[in-house]
């Protein structure tokens, strides 16, 4: 391992970055250095700017990729190489705010019921019933399922924070059936090598279930998490509680689901009905 690469990794470890981010940042720096056939500490801002322009305009990589790349470069330049940083040299792109697509309860049911494989169905049920991110469901361990308190313990989730989310009785019953049949050892959902299941595999499971269900919406597995939060709102669960369950840093993030929940006007009384007139 080169000294510079080691310094970059150590700096991220000291700042508490998760292993996934560390790997991504190291790969990004290595790709830019390889593109110019130069050591990373000899790269100029102009070279990096040209590289970013090529990847955005020619290779059509996303704005989120560009933003992550700028973060990796800034960390290298400021924290490791101790160079001055002018954010105007590499401006971050203005991010698109995509409309959240939420599945109805009926659509979620159709998607889940379309899978007859108990393992695949258990993955979808746990993801929806607990509002999990893709990385969270793939990294669940058997020990994370707390059936005595009906909770799921998520370790080092987004933001390197542990949190608890709810364990549904239906999900627990399905997990017990799945466990008796598959007998996983450490990871709740294993791949072929007894390691945790790959994210791509889970995405493909959802994609196949969506196609078989005939639900006509362009969504990925993350829509189950969006739908979980929205359905909690519709059930009357308070925003701060949903924020805690979802692991949102800001209540503003959770508040975004207010725009997509379906309000029912039936049963809503006018304030005039409280007046003695």
pLDDT tens-digit readout, 224-235? 998 888 888 888
- Flag whether 92 is in a domain: no
CATH code of the domain covering residue 190: 1.10.443.10
Domain count for the chain, please give it: 2
Relative to beta strand 161-166, strand 151-157 is antiparallel
Residues 131 and 254 in one domain: yes
Other residues' Cβ atoms within 10 Å of the Cβ of residue 206: 22
- Flag whether 144 is in a domain: yes
Start-to-end Cα distance in the chain: 81
Residues 73 and 132 in one domain: no
- Flag whether 253 is in a domain: yes
Q: Which residue intervals of the chain are DSSP H helices?
A: 3-14, 19-36, 45-57, 63-74, 105-113, 118-130, 134-138, 169-182, 199-213, 222-234, 239-246, 251-255
Residues 255 and 124 in one domain: yes
- Strand, helix or coil at 3? helix
Question: Residue 1's pLDDT is what?
Answer: 45
Nearest-10 crossing angle of helices 199-213, 118-130: 100
Question: Containing domain of residue 110, as a range?
Answer: 105-259
Model confidence at 32: pLDDT above 90? yes
What positions carry a catalytic annotation? 133, 158, 222, 225, 248, 257
Residues 239 and 128 in one domain: yes
Instruction: Express each pLDDT in 38-80 by its tens digit.
Output: 999 999 989 999 999 898 888 888 888 888 999 999 999 989 9
Picking from 26-30, 119-123, 271-275, which range would have the lowest pLDDT averaged per residue? 271-275
- Closest C-alpha among 7, 20, 120, 130 to residue 68: 20
Model confidence at 262: pLDDT above 60? no
- Flag whether 273 is in a domain: no
Nearest-10 crossing angle of helices 19-36, 63-74: 90
Question: Residue 261's pLDDT is what?
Answer: 55
Per the prediction, the chain carries an average pLDDT of: 85
Residues 129 and 249 in one domain: yes
The secondary structure of residue 151, as a DSSP letter, is E
Model confidence at 148: pLDDT above 80? yes
Nearest-10 crossing angle of helices 105-113, 222-234: 140
Q: Are 78 and 87 in contact (CB under 8 A)?
A: no
Model confidence at 252: pLDDT above 50? yes
More confident call, 204 vs 102: 204
């Amino acid at each position: 391992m080169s000294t510079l690469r080691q310094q970059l990794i150590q700096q991220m470890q000291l700042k508490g970055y998760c292993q996934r981010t560390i790997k991504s940042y190291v790969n990004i720096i290595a790709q830019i250095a390889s593109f110019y056939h130069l050591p990373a500490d000899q790269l100029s801002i102009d070279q990096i700017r040209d590289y970013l322009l090529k990847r955005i305009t020619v290779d059509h990589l996303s704005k989120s990729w560009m933003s992550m790349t700028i973060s990796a470069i800034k960390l290298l330049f400021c924290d490791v190489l101790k160079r001055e940083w002018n954010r105007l040299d590499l401006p971050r792109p203005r991010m698109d705010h995509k409309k959240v697509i939420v599945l109805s309860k009926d659509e979620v049911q159709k998607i889940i019921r379309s899978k007859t494989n108990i393992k695949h169905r258990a993955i979808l049920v746990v993801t929806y019933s607990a509002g999990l991110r893709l990385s969270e469901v793939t990294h669940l361990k058997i020990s994370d399922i707390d059936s005595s308190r009906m909770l799921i313990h998520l370790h080092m989730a987004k933001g390197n924070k542990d949190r608890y989310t709810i364990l549904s009785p239906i999900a627990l019953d399905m997990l017990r059936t799945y466990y008796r049949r598959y007998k996983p050892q450490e990871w709740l959902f294993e791949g072929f090598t007894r390691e945790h299941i790959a994210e791509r595999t889970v995405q493909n499971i959802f994609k196949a279930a969506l196609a078989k269900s005939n639900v006509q919406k362009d969504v990925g597995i993350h829509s189950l998490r969006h739908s979980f939060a929205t359905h909690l709102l519709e059930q009357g669960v308070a925003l701060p509680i949903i924020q805690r369950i979802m692991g949102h840093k800001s209540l503003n993030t959770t508040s975004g689901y207010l725009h997509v929940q379906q309000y029912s006007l039936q049963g809503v009384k006018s304030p005039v009905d409280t007046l003695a007139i």
